Chain A
Amino acid sequence: MMDPSMMQAQMAASTSNPESNDLSSRSQLFSPAVAHNAQIVEHVRGLMSIFAGAAAGVLGVTGIIQGACVFIIFHTLTSLGLLTKIKLTGKVSNYLPTKWYAFLVADAANHLLSFLLFWTMGYTLIHIY
């Protein structure tokens, strides 16, 4: 992922607290870089939901709660995997305008329907046919 904090010379994003004098507490992120990062994260999460759904279906996971657990586990694991790209010591706020705990949970609902589709398909194709 590109590091937009390197490009603070081109300020395109608005600050959250203009009164604060501390540069590290403001998020001056270069917006095309943020968009690029966000797109990559979306890609990864989309792929995750597809393969997790297929895996859940093939393994015969039934029941809403079990399926939701599978989805949450996969989602958290991939988010943690994405976090290791910044070595777990860098801050997520250097790359995306979210905090690390929001990053783990964010955008889950966007991919829930894909997960459901591939879960249904995997389950049906293996267990019903």
Chain B
Amino acid sequence: MQPPTLGHSSRDLLLDPAIRNWGVLPILVFVLCINLLRAYLTHLGKGNKPPEIDDLRRRQVLARADRLRANGNNIHKAGFEARKAWFVGKDEQEGALSEEGVPGAVNPMSNPMGMMEMVKGQAYFGMTQMGMMQFSEMFFAGFVLVKIPFALTASFKGMLQRGIELSTLDASYVSATSWMFLVAFGVKDLQRLFSFDDGPMKEEARVYALQAGGVPLGGGPPAPMGFDCAKMYSAAKGGLDMTRHRFALEDVEKRLLGDRYPTSLSATETFLTMETPTLRSSSLGVTGPTHTGVRHRSQTSNAKGK
């Protein structure tokens, strides 16, 4: 008598539950553990080499210049000009971006220690993949492990059914090696859930956040190689030179008040010709906007030459 089966169609093979206990689940657990181990090992093997201070300083200056160019419209013109002068230089004073002796393109070959680290990282990855393949071929050869839920053409048989020479077997039934590859690709999500709570995996979280959010955290991760400082400095300088500044809060009172913006002359005239408090009087040499953000009528008319 056939054992009772759960939702078992008559066309499917029935496999021995021992294969499930000793094949499918162990490979899953094994690959998951190998991935976690690899992640922790790469984290441990990173080392605590502090970044070079000159390099770091130049990167930060570049980041600040980029930020100024992008967000400069949010500060008024005097502030923007002051910052721009610090970067680009003005009237015989050299700016920060005109620094002498800035290194050009870094030749990756000239940094043997860095290269070794990258090669080591890749080697770990490749070695574990090969090791897992050998492992599954050695221990789980010759039988069908798993059925893929959708139909595949016969040409997939050569790839997915290594070691099983049955010409009439559905291509959906696959061997242990292909199950291992399936697991290796699909377990990344599960592994991420296991290792991102806290602790040593915060680094990985940053990398994933970078990929997902598309916005670099902080100042952006340090570029591994090929950081051409001189070229980027001159590009930033040219960009800042060409930036046109338009103060975003120019007419903010109009936007804020909308319909309530006073248009009747008498009210504005009275308001604007009021005496400003002594603290902000021009005897102190303060010529910036008043604390309300509204330009004094006399100031604007002077500026516009009316």
Contacts and interface: CB of A to CB of B under 8 A. Distances in A.
Given A31-B216, A96-B213, A123 B70 contact: no
A32 interface: yes
A64 to B, nearest CB: 4
B74 A127 contact: no
Contact of A67 (B7, B150, B212, B243): B150
Contacts of B214: 38, 97
B193 A117 contact: no
Interface string A96-114: 1100000000010001011
Which one of A15, A111, A115 has the greatest number of beta carbons of chain B within 10 Å?
Answer: A15
Contacts of A92: none
A119 interface: yes
Contact of B217 (A29, A32, A97): A32
B146 interface: yes
Chain A interface residue count: which class? 35 or more
Contacts of B280: none
B193 A11 contact: no
Contacts of A37: 213
A56 to B, nearest CB: 8
Interface in B102-158: 145-151
A69 interface: no
A63 B149 contact: yes
Given A18-B70, A32-B218, A114-B189, A128 B15 contact: yes
Given A31-B217, A32-B218, A114-B186, A46 B28 contact: no
A50 B66 contact: no
B175 to A, nearest CB: 13
Interface in B63-115: 66-67, 69-74
Interface in A50-77: 50, 56-57, 60-64, 67
Given A18-B73, A117-B182, A35 B147 contact: no
Contact of B20 (A21, A31, A111, A129): A129
B246 interface: yes
Given A42-B208, A63-B151, A121-B28, A14 B70 contact: yes
Given A32-B217, A97-B215, A120-B148, 13 more contacts: A11-B74, A14-B71, A18-B72, A21-B250, A34-B215, A35-B206, A39-B205, A42-B212, A115-B186, A117-B182, A124-B146, A125-B24, A127-B7
Q: Which 6 A-B pairs have the closest CB atoms?
A: A117-B186, A38-B213, A35-B209, A14-B70, A38-B212, A114-B189
